[in-house]
């Protein structure tokens, strides 16, 4: 008599457990490498019970390619401004629910109505920054003001640069005074010899951790993301950050939900979570980019706000726009130059 209810109970327990396991809410996050601190992910999971699967990429183009293939379903992605623009144009993003993300109010006015996404219909800024030059001023004594000063034969084998085709092409365009968003076959042809000569000067291409060769002394000059430069400066003030005089790409890395995401609610919850001042502070403490969150910035120390890489005082900054199919022209040319 007692055996049957026990068996039923056990069967029910096993079934429910199996069911529970299948139903553990999850969030598939596809974001830049290193960029989302483990502490933030754990904090979110602890509070909401939502498990975060964090997959990484090291360029907007790589992310868009993978997203367009559609084989993996992501709930949350982290495109930079021009990639947001591209994805909006191609109808690949979900509009964000305003009432689900009340912490938007914490954003600085300057980030509330960007040209790449008017009214923040599809995106929320995560961190902003620039691509600039870092020099080890103990070693490099000659003045470095811009890209033309960096890419000189005398620095051959001493340079580290982010491994990003669109960025590299824009540096050459800047030096040649070609507008950086005017990516045409003719302009690429003009920039080609210059880029070819630069590639042979660079010792390390690395977008994930360009700090390493500068810290180890393998390289003395870098063209890197401002967050990496700021981290180097925190470690040692000999690492100076310079906004290239020819022009520096100013980016806004954002959070967006791909069209048709299975866990839209959890994704909006995550966006709202990172917009809390104390959570956003954890991110910019770890990766000292320009924090677009005004309330989080209030929690930063004077030292953090004085870091010239995180909050550059002045400089000639430029934004990238969606260039559509010209992206493929860049990548074809760069692949060819790298292999030859
Ligand atoms: C952090 C990601 C940098 C993002 N490694 C540059 N847009």
Backbone angles phi, psi at 223, to 5 degrees: -115, 110
Q: Compute the distance from residue 251 Cα to the ligand 1 centre, in Å.
A: 9
Minimum mean pLDDT among 67-71, 150-154, 247-251: which range? 67-71
Q: Compute the distance from residue 21 Cα to the ligand 1 centre, in Å.
A: 34
Q: How many residues does the chain have?
A: 340
Question: Does residue 23 or residue 276 have the better pLDDT?
Answer: 276
CA dist 300 and 276 (Å) reads: 14
Which pair of structure tokens corresponds to residue 285? 């403490």
For 316-326, write each residue's pLDDT tens digit: 999 999 999 99
Given ligand 1 and candidates 160, 205, 207, which is best to mutate, with the most ligand atoms within 8 Å of its CB? 207
For atom 1 of ligand 1, the residue with the nearest CA is 35
Q: Which residues line ligand 1 (CB under 6 A)?
A: 32-35, 80, 225, 251, 253
Backbone angles phi, psi at 179, to 5 degrees: -55, 130
Find out whether 178 and 192 touch, Cβ atoms under 8 Å: no
Which pair of structure tokens corresponds to residue 123? 């995106």
Q: What's the 3-state SS for the chain?
A: CCHHHHHHHHHHHHHHHHHHHHHCCEEEEEEECCCCCHHHHHHHHHHHCCEEEEEEECCHHHHHHHHHHCCCCCCEECCCHHHHHHHHHCCCECCCCCCCCHHHHHECHHHCCCCCCHHHCCCEEEEEEEEEEEEECCCCCCCCCCHHHHCCHHHCCCEEECCCHHHHHHHHHHHCCCCCCCCCHHHHHHHHHHHHHHHCCEEEECCCCCHHHHHHCCCCEEEEEHHHHHHHHHHCCCEEEECCCCCEEEEEEEEECECCCCCHHHHHHHHHHHCCHHHHHHHHHHCCCECCEHHHHHCCCHHHHCCCCCCCCCCCEECCCCCCCHHHHHHHHHHHHHHC
Specify the ligand 1 atom closest to the Cα of 209: 5
pLDDT band at 23; cut points 50, 70, 90 = low
Q: How many Cβ atoms sit within 10 Å of the Cβ of residue 227? A: 25
Task: Give the count of alpha carbons within 13 A of 239, CB side only.
Answer: 30
Specify the ligand 1 atom closest to the Cα of 35: 1
Q: Compute the distance from residue 225 Cα to the ligand 1 centre, in Å.
A: 7
For atom 4 of ligand 1, the residue with the nearest CA is 32
Specify the ligand 1 atom closest to the Cα of 253: 7
> Bridge-partner residues for 28, per DSSP?
53
Q: Compute the distance from residue 289 Cα to the ligand 1 centre, in Å.
A: 9
pTM more than 0.85:
yes
pLDDT band at 295; cut points 50, 70, 90 = very high
Phi-psi label, residue 157: left if phi above 0, alpha if psi -120 to 50, beta otherwise: left
Specify the ligand 1 atom closest to the Cα of 208: 5
For 113-168, write each residue's pLDDT tens digit: 999 999 999 999 999 999 999 999 999 999 999 999 999 999 999 999 999 999 99
Specify the ligand 1 atom closest to the Cα of 287: 1
CA dist 35 and 126 (Å) reads: 10
Q: Compute the distance from residue 14 Cα to the ligand 1 centre, in Å.
A: 44
Backbone angles phi, psi at 63, to 5 degrees: -65, -45
Q: Compute the distance from residue 32 Cα to the ligand 1 centre, in Å.
A: 6
CA dist 322 and 206 (Å) reads: 23
Per the prediction, the chain carries an average pLDDT of 93
Q: Compute the distance from residue 273 Cα to the ligand 1 centre, in Å.
A: 20
Rounded mean pLDDT of 245-261? Answer: 97
pLDDT recorded at residue 22: 53
pLDDT band at 336; cut points 50, 70, 90 = very high
For atom 6 of ligand 1, the residue with the nearest CA is 225
Backbone angles phi, psi at 26, to 5 degrees: -140, 165
Give just the sign of the alpha carbon dihedral 239, 202, 168, 59: negative
Q: Compute the distance from residue 19 Cα to the ligand 1 centre, in Å.
A: 38
Q: How many Cβ atoms sit within 10 Å of the Cβ of residue 9? A: 10
pLDDT recorded at residue 3: 52
* Closest of 188, 170, 178 to residue 244, by C-alpha: 170
Q: Compute the distance from residue 10 Cα to the ligand 1 centre, in Å.
A: 50
pLDDT recorded at residue 156: 98
Specify the ligand 1 atom closest to the Cα of 60: 7
pLDDT band at 72; cut points 50, 70, 90 = confident
């Amino acid at each position: 008599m007692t055996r049957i209810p026990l068996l039923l109970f056990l069967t029910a327990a096993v079934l429910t457990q199996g069911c529970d396991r299948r139903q553990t809410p999850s969030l598939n996050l596809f974001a830049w490498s290193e960029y989302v601190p483990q502490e933030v992910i754990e904090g979110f999971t602890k509070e909401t019970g939502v498990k975060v699967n964090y997959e990484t990429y090291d360029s907007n183009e790589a992310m868009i390619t993978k997203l367009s293939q559609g084989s993996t379903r992501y709930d949350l992605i982290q495109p930079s401004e021009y990639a947001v623009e591209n994805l909006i144009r191609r109808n690949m993003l979900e509009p964000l629910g305003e009432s689900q993300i009340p912490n938007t109010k914490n954003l600085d006015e300057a980030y509330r109505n960007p040209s790449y996404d008017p009214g923040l219909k599809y995106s929320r800024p995560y961190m902003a920054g620039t691509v600039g030059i870092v020099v080890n001023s103990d070693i490099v004594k000659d003045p470095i003001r811009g890209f033309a000063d960096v890419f000189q034969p005398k620095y051959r084998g001493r340079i580290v640069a982010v491994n990003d085709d669109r960025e590299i092409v824009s540096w050459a365009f800047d030096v040649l005074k070609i507008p950086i968003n005017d990516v045409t076959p003719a302009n690429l042809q003009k920039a080609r010899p210059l880029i070819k000569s630069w590639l042979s000067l660079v010792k390390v291409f690395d977008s994930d951790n360009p700090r390493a060769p500068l810290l180890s002394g393998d390289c003395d000059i870098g063209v890197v993301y401002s967050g990496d430069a700021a981290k180097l400066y925190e470690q040692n003030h000999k690492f100076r950050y310079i906004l290239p005089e020819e022009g520096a790409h100013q980016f806004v890395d954002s959070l967006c939900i791909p069209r048709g995401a299975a866990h839209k609610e959890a994704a909006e919850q995550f966006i709202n979570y990172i917009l809390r001042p104390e959570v956003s502070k954890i991110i910019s403490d770890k990766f000292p980019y320009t924090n677009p969150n005004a309330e989080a910035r209030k929690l930063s120390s004077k030292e953090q706000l004085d870091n010239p890489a995180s909050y550059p005082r002045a400089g000639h900054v430029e934004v990238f726009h969606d260039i559509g199919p010209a992206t493929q022209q860049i990548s074809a040319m760069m692949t060819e130059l790298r292999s030859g």
